[in-house]
Amino acid sequence: MDFIRTHIKNNTAWLTIDRPEAANALSKQVLEEITETLASLERDRSIRALVITGAGDKVFSAGADLKERRELPQEEVPFAVKRIRETVDAVAAFPVPTICALNGPAFGGGFELALACDIRLCTEHTTFALTETTLAIIPGAGGTQRLPREIGPARAKEMIFTGKKIDAVKAEEWGLVTAVCDRDSLISETEALTDRIASNGPVALRQAKFAISEGTQTDLTTGIAIEAKAYEVTIPTSDRLEGLEAFKEKRKPEYTGK
């Protein structure tokens, strides 16, 4: 891997976009490496959470690599957009909780990548924008769909129609991020969050994510039926019995994902 670094700590996988000289832009190679890394990590059943972040402290990701895009023949542009969309969708579909640790501004496709994660934390100097309409295009990797679901249609329309940026304070106020951190504490606060997540039952984490992700896309009655089916998956697990036993014995449970 040239632009993606990974490591696993405390059952949490960390994926870092390492292309700071190009503002961590999502070139064809970066996207291919992210997709390949996600496929590899998904096969590792010991992973209970995934963190996506960027290298450096200036920017999370400036989005699509516009220098690369300018050199593409017009007929190839739809395929380039499709590639970003597929990568972002792969993040959204990743089966364990995903956390985006935004070490700086997220624009365009970089913002869409962050939107595909379940939880977002950012630094104080982070800004967010979908600037595509200023380039006479629209967000093409889920931005027009995921952003309204996070902050409401009116706010999302204003951001997309104008291409304006919002800062970290506004992002937290709107519920786009759950915490705003100092630059020096972003990683430690993210680790504290993932440690709490990863200490819980692996099967339960996957089923909780499935129930929330699928249920929020439908009506309440159907959503509750989805929840019931997801709950049934956890009943025959040894982890469920371990949780009850640990509670009885007033000790920390030792979950195995079985």
**Which residues are the active-site residues?**
64, 109, 112, 132
Q: What is the DSSP letter of 23?
A: T
Distance CA 54, CA 4 (A): 9
Distance CA 44, CA 95 (A): 11
Q: State how beta strands 4-9 and 12-17 pair.
A: antiparallel
Tokens 């640790």 belong to residue: 101
Q: Going by C-beta distance under 8 Å and a sequence separation of 6 or more, which residues neighbour residue 3?
A: 17, 18, 19, 27, 29, 30, 33
Q: Going by C-beta distance under 8 Å and a sequence separation of 6 or more, which residues neighbour residue 31?
A: 83, 84, 87
Backbone phi, psi, residue 43, to 5°? -80, -10
Nearest to 25 by CA among 45, 54, 57, 48: 54
Q: Could you write out the three-class secondary structure of 140-184?
A: CCCHHHHHHHHHCHHHHHHHHHHCCCEEHHHHHHCCCCCEEECHH
Distance CA 117, CA 119 (A): 6
